[in-house]
Structure 1
Amino acid sequence: MKRIFAAILIAACAGTASADGLKSLESFMKGAQAGRAEFSQTVTAPPKDGQAARTKTSSGSFEFQRPGRFKFTYKKPFEQTIVADGQTLWLYDVDLNQVTQRSQAQALGSTPAALLASAPDLAALKADFTLENGPDQDGLQWVQATPKAKDGQLKSVRVGFAGEQLAALDIQDSFGQRSVIRFSGLQALPSLPASVFQFKPPAGADVVKQ
């Protein structure tokens, strides 16, 4: 569960520094108040007990509505849903038939979710993150976002843009785990129906409040 949460909630690289990343981030914050996309996610755990690093891949769909609402629907290899409705963060594991319920304000804080959906504008982001242009890599312009809070699980996040189009998140947590989320087919929309971000625990599901 920690792996999944750290992954939704956002590396020294060779290259030439770009001035476009922060401009792309600002344009994204202004122009995309809501949207949806497909995503693929690769999580790499650090080597353990002399073994090689372990990698797991998943995919699904993503939707958001500023401020404070988003939904990740994992379809492969296992079905899981993460919904933030503005008040509560819900994590539903279909195979376990288990729902984890947390206060959204306490759960998110300085997380990648703020970069995508929680913060209403760039000024609000700067309250929680130090933002800097990063080097271009893989054909993308990158922004390095470092949390100002030093006691959280998140170490750093890189946000990649293709022009003004959100393309990727590269997340490093304090446990040495790396999660790379790549987005495709992003549709920027003025709004989405409120029902998209409503979640009701399925009948018979075990609900755990944290």
Structure 2
Amino acid sequence: MKRFLTITALLSAPLWAHASGLDALENFVKTAKTGRADFTQVVTAPARDGQAARSKTSSGTFEFSRPNRFRFVYKKPFEQVIVADGQMLWMHDVDLNQVTQRKQAAVLGSTPAALIASAPDLATLRKEFNLEAAGEKDGVQWVQATPKAKEGQLHSMKVGFRGNDLAVLEIQDSFGQRSVLTFTKMEMNAAVPAESFHFKPPPNTDVSRQ
């Protein structure tokens, strides 16, 4: 399921920022119970074998509800749906008519997606990540987050806040791939229906359980 490479970076990394980036991050994890936004994701593969770096852009919508639930709907250029329902992570490639089901706890671990949906405070985050305030640029306050575990795909991440709203995730993986998710129209503590985090494979879909 090569098209899910666009979400791989998101599922292999951490976090956020405000007044001092760390203050905004702590405020976010303590007070953001639900949320929804539009997003644009740019994934840039490193230059290799004499070829220039290549970028791919996708866009869609994002919702989350604590604890442990989120939904990404990729609308362009290919339709994909990623749902964490609290127990399982579902990845649906609409064009290929394929669904992958995996146990959520085994997949997410110390990742940005898990942090958005579940981390209750900075103390919990510091068990998994080294966190540093990374200053302000263009109205966005930043936090640098580096995972303490070295065996994962995530190399590092920066999380940016505009005011109290999550604005940007910049993720660098251990293969040199960079993924930048920019969030717009963020609505914190919005009324997000529980049905958003339910997923049932469509009829006649090829389902792979891992």
The reply to whether TM is greater than 0.5 is yes
Write the distance in 1 (CA, Å) between the matches of 2:134 and 2:8: 22
Identity %: 63
Maintained 8 Å contact 1:33/1:191? no
The AA in structure 1 aligned to 2:105 is A
Deviation at 1:206, TM superposition (A): 0.6
Partner of 1:46: 46
Say if 2:123 is the partner of 1:120. no
2:137 partner SS = coil
Write the distance in 2 (CA, Å) between the matches of 1:122 and 1:92: 32
Partner of 2:24: 24
Moved over 4 A (4+): none
Say if 2:89 is the partner of 1:89. yes
Partner of 2:10: 8
Maintained 8 Å contact 2:10/2:171? no
1:29 partner SS = helix
Partner of 2:77: 77
1:204 partner SS = coil
The AA in structure 2 aligned to 1:150 is K
Deviation at 1:148, TM superposition (A): 1.3
Maintained 8 Å contact 1:67/1:120? no
Say if 2:66 is the partner of 1:66. yes
Partner of 1:172: 172
Write the distance in 2 (CA, Å) between the matches of 1:191 and 1:80: 23
Write the distance in 2 (CA, Å) between the matches of 1:58 and 1:138: 23
Deviation at 1:7, TM superposition (A): 2.9
Deviation at 1:143, TM superposition (A): 0.4
The AA in structure 1 aligned to 2:10 is I
Deviations 1:46-73 (A, max 9, x none): 1121000000000000000111100000
The AA in structure 1 aligned to 2:194 is A
Partner of 1:189: 189
Inter-CA distance 104–189: structure 2 relative to 1 (3 Å threshold): same
Deviations 1:143-201 (A, max 9, x none): 01111111001111100011211100000001110000000011111653221100001
Partner of 2:111: 111
The range that moved more, 22-31 or 113-122, is 113-122
Partner of 1:133: 133
The AA in structure 2 aligned to 1:63 is E
Deviation at 1:140, TM superposition (A): 1.0
Maintained 8 Å contact 2:128/2:149? yes
The AA in structure 1 aligned to 2:73 is T
Structure 2: which 5+ runs fail to align?
none
The TM-score normalised by the length of structure 2 is 0.91
1:135 partner SS = strand
Write the distance in 1 (CA, Å) between the matches of 2:40 and 2:135: 23
The TM-score normalised by the length of structure 1 is 0.91
Deviation at 1:79, TM superposition (A): 0.3
The range that moved more, 78-87 or 135-144, is 135-144
Structure 1: which 5+ runs fail to align?
11-17
